[in-house]
Structure 1
Amino acid sequence: MARATIKSIAARTGYSVGTVSSALRGAKSVRRETREKIQKVANELGYRVNLDGLKLRTNKSYHIAVLVGVSMDASEEWEGVEFTRILSGISIALQGSRYQLSVFSVSDIESAIVTLQSIVHEGLADGVIFSGTRRNDPRIAYLQKHGFPFVTYGMSDSPKPHPFVDFDSQAAAYDATTRLIDLGHRRIALINPPGDLIYAAQREKGYLDALAVGGVSFDSELICNGPTTALFGRQAFQALMQAPNRASAIICANEAMTLGVLSAAAETGVQVGRDVVVISTDDLHLSQYFVPPPSTYYLPIVETSRLLGEFMLKSLDGADPSETQKKIRATFIERQPDTPAPQMARAN
């Protein structure tokens, strides 16, 4: 089989040699639809560009950086479970493009800023993807200041719009709380991430809004903020069960926290489904194997993270942020009857 060339791609697509050449370089003078069509044919014909030469001509690295948070705490057993799926989704989106993933491990915001400085000033990547957006996030401010393309897994409070993909945490918390109120629960706890995270604030707002609409008084003792780990879920459950007027239902921010709650319940003789109801969010489909398996708000994380990669490519192509923002509603999966414990129902 003859080696694919720009001329053979031009003959197949009907575009001129100049247009094909520009499209394969990623030139913005060629419409995105045309570039995608030409790239598809190039892939079908097995065309391989001299990437080293292309990097020199375009002054681009053809790498997408993904910041992965790595905890220094060895007790965080859940670490890495979610990021493998996120990386998988992004990789799927980059297939067929010239871009490759570069993973950078960071332990906190300070190390993330140092890493971003290296990426930007040393040309280690052409764009960045990261998660865990915070209030007044310095990573976002830094990248916007330098005009460097990025996409976040999570919304932000930045006054300047930017590309993001996010799980509608506020809606999930509101729906879960409303569901429990309608079933008779009045002591509903929320085990939530640290308060400086944007999605923690979103969940708390959804929770508080549902309490207000349902006419249920708010008790600050029912909100537990901490690391999204099984260990914290266990500790939070133990604290909630020691309260004089303990919770009859608990909403957990992720499956790791939920696992800690279920473990603590089993150890203390509290029966989930009879004495207390547990609902989990950020379901990775692992909780279906928990005992008992809790009801969850499921989000297909590979599909969600694929959007991160797609939005990154569009951002590098100069797309307006309005074209690269998506908030996704989760699907509720009922695995347990969310009825109030009899004694709780009588007490309220």
Structure 2
Amino acid sequence: MTKSGTSDTPEKISLAPGERPTLKTIARLSGLAVPTVSRALADAPDIRKNTKERVRDIAKQIGYRPNRAGVRLRTGRTNVISIVMSTEHDMMNHTARLISSVASALRGTQYHMIITPYFPDEDPMVPIRYIVETGSADGLIINQIEPHDPRVDYLMDHKFPFVTHGRTGACERHAYFDYDNTSYGALAVKALAGRGRKHIAMLAPPKNQTYAQNMIDGATRTAAEFGVRFSVIEGANAHQDNPVIEQAMIPIFKQPDRPDGLIAPSIGGCVTMISTVERMGFVLEQDFDVVAKEAITFLRRFRSGILVVEEDIDQAGNFLARALMHRINAPTEPPMQELDRPDDTAFRAD
């Protein structure tokens, strides 16, 4: 707010001694009705932008926080969204960046974020059922998506708002954001073939997940087009611990027809593959080349010769948050969907 005829500097607002910051307080200070204040804080589409900004500024200055129990009684909502994630993700992949970008997209809205973890040996349906049955969140973000994902079927059957980081076989029916891993697999093989590599091996994500199947499919088809050999490293996947990956790599590179091109879907897997092969005496850019995907700038600082494709997790997190709020607030409208497609300009050369 500004004083008429003076400057554009916002007027400082303070509470009277003993006064609590409530909706009534904001209504008094703004000159608006309590229902209007409530709708402005809820980002209602029929409230003007400048009104929302004025109400939020007052709320911030007086330290207003909604009473969550009261909000739930009045609206049936918690103003909470949950990211449901497996604990098996190491922090060198995109998990931390995704959480940060979702949180940034929710900043300034009525929604707060919680993380609901589940363990690799736990049924991934357990946290989903708990949240839906207890109503402890208004919507969910889930990842590690499978083509026929029981979590998605359950949430759709219960008409519970959700968005997936990845696509199912029925993705046209639900909100999602996905990176085009089919294109990534194809681009990786093309780049390695362009360097004269004849036997390309991929450390794939878990094969039950959609993005792993997409990545393998793109690489397989492109390898056939370029007349090079392609294989998936057996005995390990990109989500497993370093010793498991190391033990899978060593016998492969002891063979006479060892790979001379490697594809990694993440930072951790890439570092483990390169360090394992280098300890065996092989030299990057001479004996082998590597294409890897990362969400944070790291790999070319580790080895400058890595062919790096950057995945924009900030874009993913921002879209996932907006798509979930859209599902919560406009459940009858078509779900928001986006596919991030890399192209030949995707390789970064720092």
Asked if Structure 1 and Structure 2 have the same fold, meaning a TM-score greater than 0.5 normalized by the shorter chain, the answer is yes
2:347 match: 332
1:321 is displaced (CA, Å) by 7.0
Is the 8 Å Cα contact of residues 238 and 265 (structure 2) preserved in structure 1?
no
Is the 8 Å Cα contact of residues 287 and 293 (structure 1) preserved in structure 2?
no
* C-alpha distance in 1 between matches for 2:233 and 2:96: 32
2:36 is the alignment partner of 1:54: no
Is the 8 Å Cα contact of residues 231 and 257 (structure 1) preserved in structure 2?
no
Output aligned runs, 1:156-175, within 5 Å: 156-158=168-170, 161-175=173-187
**Given residue 309 of structure 1, which amino acid in structure 2 is its aligned partner?**
A
* C-alpha distance in 2 between matches for 1:320 and 1:165: 19
**Equivalent position to 2:53, from 40, 43, 61:** 40
1:102 match: 114
Runs of at least 5 residues in structure 1 that lack an aligned partner in the other structure: 336-348
1:278 is displaced (CA, Å) by 0.9
Q: Give CA-to-partner distance per residue, 1:148-185, whole Å, 9 cap, x none.
A: 01111111112652111111111111111112223322
CA separation of 1:19 and 1:297: change in aligned 2, threshold 3 A: same
Is the 8 Å Cα contact of residues 84 and 118 (structure 2) preserved in structure 1?
yes
Output aligned runs, 1:121-140, within 5 Å: 121-140=133-152
CA separation of 1:108 and 1:147: change in aligned 2, threshold 3 A: farther
CA separation of 1:39 and 1:232: change in aligned 2, threshold 3 A: farther
**Equivalent position to 2:285, from 261, 267, 273:** 273
* C-alpha distance in 1 between matches for 2:236 and 2:50: 49
Give the match's secondary structure for 2:243.
helix
- Name the one with the larger helix percent: 1
**Given residue 27 of structure 2, which amino acid in structure 1 is its aligned partner?**
I
Output aligned runs, 1:1-348, within 5 Å: 1=13, 5-6=26-27, 9=30, 19-25=36-42, 32=45, 34=47, 38-46=51-59, 48=64, 50-52=66-68, 53-71=70-88, 78-79=90-91, 82-108=94-120, 110-158=122-170, 161-216=173-228, 218-220=229-231, 226-229=237-240, 230-292=242-304, 294-318=306-330, 322-330=334-342, 331-334=346-349
1:233 is displaced (CA, Å) by 3.9
Identity value in percent: 22
The 10-residue stretch of structure 1 (98-107 or 175-184) with the greater mean CA deviation from structure 2: 175-184
* C-alpha distance in 2 between matches for 1:8 and 1:182: 67
**Given residue 276 of structure 1, which amino acid in structure 2 is its aligned partner?**
F
Q: Give CA-to-partner distance per residue, 1:45-64, whole Å, 9 cap, x none.
A: 22636433222101111111
The normalised TM-score by structure 2 is 0.82
Is the 8 Å Cα contact of residues 6 and 21 (structure 1) preserved in structure 2?
no
Is the 8 Å Cα contact of residues 292 and 309 (structure 2) preserved in structure 1?
yes
* C-alpha distance in 1 between matches for 2:172 and 2:288: 43
**Given residue 59 of structure 1, which amino acid in structure 2 is its aligned partner?**
G
1:343 match: none
The normalised TM-score by structure 1 is 0.82
* C-alpha distance in 1 between matches for 2:268 and 2:173: 32
Give the match's secondary structure for 1:275.
coil
1:89 is displaced (CA, Å) by 0.7
Give the match's secondary structure for 1:46.
helix
Q: Give CA-to-partner distance per residue, 1:186-228, whole Å, 9 cap, x none.
A: 2111111121010000101110121232233x55466775242
Is the 8 Å Cα contact of residues 222 and 247 (structure 1) preserved in structure 2?
no
* C-alpha distance in 2 between matches for 1:244 and 1:93: 51
Runs of at least 5 residues in structure 2 that lack an aligned partner in the other structure: 1-12, 16-24
Is the 8 Å Cα contact of residues 259 and 288 (structure 2) preserved in structure 1?
yes
The 10-residue stretch of structure 1 (159-168 or 61-70) with the greater mean CA deviation from structure 2: 159-168
* C-alpha distance in 1 between matches for 2:92 and 2:85: 9
**Given residue 119 of structure 2, which amino acid in structure 1 is its aligned partner?**
S
Give the match's secondary structure for 1:111.
coil
Is the 8 Å Cα contact of residues 161 and 321 (structure 1) preserved in structure 2?
no
What CA RMSD, in Å, does the superposition of the two structures yield over aligned residues?
Answer: 2.7
